[in-house]
Structure 1
């Protein structure tokens, strides 16, 4: 199996704080994926599953879903398989975070609140990735207890001898274990209860894990005369070491008195002589003593009335780098009682046990020695009117520094602190500016992102418009092609119509000619003698070229001209017609312009339509019969007479 195996659980129903037994949803995973899942399981079934799959981590989002208090958690942890640990993935109680936000940070989907199995799976995945804090309920130390096996009894006259034999065996076994621990270089403290035959009880506190101690010491059989068993040292409080930042409270210097032994007396005074703690700890380890001391301050002096001091007291003093004060001689009980009773009368406190009395006496004796020095320090600071902490100066002086040097060093530290404070202030200002800049940058980035989205949207619109424009251009090109085609068609139709009109005119002329020729033929065939009348000269048009052609054959020109197309006649040809002796111009179809008609009348040339007169043919020559000629002549005379009368009228009007 690849990597650790993690069991993730989430409560499904019930609660450790209610009468209903809690039930859990379980998900077991490893790097290979999900190994096992169950909707409902009891805690005992979860432990069995951990043993079956070799799980080393039990993960939850709240350890108090497993137990109602710290005592219950100790029982839970004690039931876990050896080498396994309990992990809370949502952080320590001082830094608790929602499961959904942690899942989002790790790139996992948040679980449904209604699905405990999904939550259990997510919890297991987070623990597998190293998320969460281990719950520690024990000190990193092991206790070895050597005592008489109560199940072994011996009566009769040999009972005393049997008891002394067991006490001697306990002493021998304690010596053997001490030797083994020394050879293994394991640090330990030893508490014993002495008896006439040796030791009634011995307890080692070894500052090592259970696994290391088991390599050196083996537990005895249940039926042996004496009992050797190992147990882990439980903490008074559940800890989340990965989530706690340990800070030694050096702000309050204290004086600690310790009375070592099976029952440890512990007394703590501040530098004003006030009692902060007076307590008896039974078979306490160094870890427990140090934890009690740190709850009240940081020791500058540790005192004991036992000379030479026990190894445990020396190591506690070394841990704090504190001054160890040992009485040159063991104080007598009367001296201890006197010191403590005076303090009781002055403060009103009452001492409980002899261990508390001895520890308080040791602390008070040291305090009384340094009291005048501490008072002198306070007076010197007040005289100089310096903003310094007397306790901090006293800490330095009690460690061997002179008062002047301690004050000078404290002033230097204050100056440095002020400078650091200024730097911190500047740093804070810079950080605030950076935060504002970051907020501004984030807002700009947001605007940029929004503008980019707008640009993308507008680019998409432009692409759509470009496509629409291209489509419209194609349509315009098609329409232009169609329009050009229609224009070309219209042009060709116009040209065709013009050609048709021209051909129709030409056809009409040709038909007239045909009719004229047919009439001539009919006349030739129907008449025996040629008709009499005025011969007509036929011209296609009254253009200048046609008139000039008449001038070239003046001998064949009659007095009357028939123009097949007189619409383009101009007044300039009338003089030439007059010179040729033309007296009348007949037209077929459209009449000549009005100006031509007026000018012709002024020159005594009759202009009329050929349809008004009868024309006959003399062979191929058109002839206007005499009677028609007379009518034409009469019209000419009528026009002349009318014109003469108009002139006379104008003259009369003028006169």
Structure 2
């Protein structure tokens, strides 16, 4: 039972409503508790399985629910708009209609509503996942069974052989991901080398042209004033200078040096534990850098802890909700939106104007300060209770 993943609906207060579903939407527990301690609540939930989602029926979840989700290292779900009592009654009544379950108070109803809504929110993704896994199992079934049979013939017990084959598959998948990442890095290095060679050739061509001009009579006048150069020669010099400037800019970008007045971000795709681990292993993440990601997947608190440990100063996202932003701000990681920064892309690298970035960072730093003040107030209140 402990390995089951859970969807937990929570309605906090003097009386706390608790509803627990498994990941397939089956009701495991529906209770209300008066003045229950959080430690006791955690113990009850952990006895049923591993909490995957903590849900609230409020569009602005109470701080106690947000904190509880963070403590349980679970995803937080809440509705976009505040549901009416009639909507809650209708959804809960429909859910329990064939289950013989009785609702004893509003706390149980609200907790069950939030758990059911969370399940409904992810249901399509769950179905799609099941279909994908079924297809993959069918595709690799014979191959996996043959590997297990071969191990059994060599004297390994079937259960042990099964676990060994699955472990090998996971390791292969991880190696494949690393290989893709390393190929991307190698490709970038080759592009940089080509750029350096082109820059070298352009500079050599300029030197050669200047030497030829210097060999002419009155070379000093020609070089200094340029008035006696032919139109073709002046055009060649202008073209080469522009090419040199372009190559220097491209080379600077590859070396992580943005054009003057700009800041280069470190694009990471989705911010997950795996992409972050790979980036850190390949020394892509450096102290003081700013990461750009389309969205966050996984435990925001765990990701924020890793970013803080490696000195990341800010995180730029395409979209973010309040609880996720709060998780990063508590670790001193500023969170900015890409739309506000007006990103410019050059050679696959997102750039932002330094002046605009500093302006938005000051605003975000004030917000982080308020978060810290609130945390201190909460600590002071907890201490005063003792």
Q: TM-score scaled by structure 2?
A: 0.36
TM-score normalised by L of structure 1: 0.22
Higher relative contact order (CA 8 A, sep 6+): 2
